[in-house]
Chain A
């Protein structure tokens, strides 16, 4: 049986992890590779690396990091952040990334999704969508890390993105992100039932029960960052708990 996935997300700047961690046994807490190796050993099902570097050196630094991750890690990983061309993606895939995620650049140039799917296959194209609910009750797409609002509905964009060739949707609710009050069940459920590809829910996971709620018939995978980095939730304990809630999990890594 296909299991649900637990995905830690690491924010990267200039090749280093941005947020601190509580892992005492890390030789170098700022090294994404060290942290990734720990998560892989703990049973994380996948990893996401989100690069927030803004400098011109970005592409080279990121490609070097991806190469070091691929050398060390034996589970799949996705790389995102500022990817805007077929060449950007080729560089990252050539260095060992399994998937890439695109967000603002795909919204501004939807053809990019078609190009990437045709060139590399849908399986490596993750469409990341940041969304927020407005007073009219509708969920809208936000760009540039949530700083820029659009008038496009989240569901419409998800459907279009999948039609163009996205193989997965990484859906972040800005209303829930950082709150630790649970994932956005409503919009995640709506998107999940309207698109045929897997949905990764992101934003709001603060307790094991939140993961159970979103993975039980709504999302295919759940992503979180700080609750894992600061040891508030341990991945082995979380997966054991979810398994006890009859959510299919890969328990022995």
Chain B
């Protein structure tokens, strides 16, 4: 299988690369459009800030490449947020693959910390991405912005209020948590993305 990880200025790729290697897959890390479009599956990682990431993607025309992709495509954390319509983080228009918008957590309680850092549960799982994953399994989250619940929500998490832990539309998948840091549960989700017969357009 040819697995591509998209290389850009917000990709914290090493951990993901090693997680894939533990599952027997060596990813090709590239920003080359031909390589991306000829991959069997594509992962779009992301740790960083939305506006500088979008600016970089546009400067390399990767925004146009990503929306053309017809193979199974998985955005992680910031990657998932960039696949939404818009992010409140520096008022950034995003790729618009998912209809949901990305907002900043708001808390009236000092006991609720922002960013959310740690293990939270995922529930209302509805996708073969979560085959073999129990309802209310714990995944590792690190984020200050979140995607609303919407038609594309395939998993939910609760922090301040319920929000989308994962989104899915056609061949596009996104997860807010870090599967590469989510112990065995995360490994199962990555394995599902690699092995399940996911939708292509």
Contacts and interface: CB of A to CB of B under 8 A. Distances in A.
Contacts of B18: 70-71, 96
Contact of B118 (A3, A96, A120): A3
A1 B118 contact: no
B184 A98 contact: no
Contacts of A95: 14
A75 to B, nearest CB: 6
B113 A196 contact: yes
Given A5-B118, A96-B14, A221-B118, A74 B184 contact: yes
Contacts of B140: 75-76
Contact of B22 (A5, A74, A221, A250): A74
B180 A74 contact: yes
Question: Which one of B19, B116, B118, B180 has the highest number of Cβ atoms from chain A below 10 Å of its Cβ?
Answer: B118
B47 A123 contact: yes
A75 B15 CA distance: 10
A220 B117 contact: yes
Given A74-B22, A75-B140, A76-B140, A123 B117 contact: yes
A96 B183 CA distance: 15
A70 B140 CA distance: 16
Given A3-B119, A75-B183, A220-B113, A120 B14 contact: no
Contacts of A199: 113
Given A250-B138, A253-B184, A70 B14 contact: yes
B158 interface: yes
Interface of B: 12, 14-15, 18-19, 21-22, 47-49, 110-111, 113-121, 137-138, 140-144, 158-159, 178, 180-184, 186-187
